[in-house]
Chain A
């Protein structure tokens, strides 16, 4: 597990994804995010600044989170997207689904 979760507000957390979100830790990521949703969190800012690997299973776990919070008027947004993650975003065109911010500060200004 390389990710860590930082509370921002009552309803918003930042997930510092760390070096990798792939088939090796995606289940753990999904379970941790589900716990957050159960605790009332609705908005997830995914910090990809340190991320060198995002694979299909990792992306699938993010879709799972999106499906969970969307009906609750929650959001999943990307911040500080690294080049390896941007390549996945472009390949899969997920920029149509997940709003991107150049930095955590920019995400904070918009979401709070």
Chain B
């Protein structure tokens, strides 16, 4: 398994580009043999939810968006780092807000909670280069789940 890095600057196409990458990685067996298809899908979902959040809500001011995606396979975990040049936000506060405010059969507010549930070591903070940096790991062993009010 090898480390990969990809850069994106077009918010209109980033989702299609990322999903095309995951399809390519699956075909190439990038995460095998430890990661089965379900775990790859879980990582793909986590990346999707974060990028969807950036596309819909991030404040890039007048800057051209710069997003980088790094995947570092390491034994039974894949560490994922997504950097962006947006204004950022306090992820811990937002997660707490979402956890406490989720409706029954919720229509909104599940994205960050799904990201949190699907991953380990989730952290989002400003890096030394001034960009914001999301970091998380997905484990080949975990069987995560999210409690949604039904």
Q: How many residues of A contact B (CB 8 A)?
A: 27
Q: In this assembly, does A99 line the interface, its C-beta being within 8 Å of a C-beta of chain B? A: no
A52-B19, A90-B145 in contact; A23/B107 too (CB < 8 A)?
no
Q: Is the interface of B mostly helix, strand, loop or mixed?
A: helix
Residue contact A87 to B48, C-beta cutoff 8 Å: no
In the bound complex, how far is the Cα of B97 from the Cα of A42, in angstroms?
34
Residue contact B114 to A60, C-beta cutoff 8 Å: no
Q: In this assembly, does B105 line the interface, its C-beta being within 8 Å of a C-beta of chain A? A: yes
In the bound complex, how far is the Cα of B55 from the Cα of A94, in angstroms?
26
Of residues 100 through 150 on chain B, the ones whose CB sits less than 8 Å from some CB of chain A are 105-108, 110-111, 113-114, 117-118, 144-148, 150
Residue contact B48 to A22, C-beta cutoff 8 Å: yes
CB distance from B95 to the nearest CB of A (A): 13
The 3 closest A-B pairs by CB, nearest first: A56-B110, A56-B111, A60-B107
Residues on A lying within 8 angstroms of B by beta carbon are 22-24, 52-53, 55-57, 59-61, 63-64, 66-67, 83-84, 86-88, 90-94, 96-97
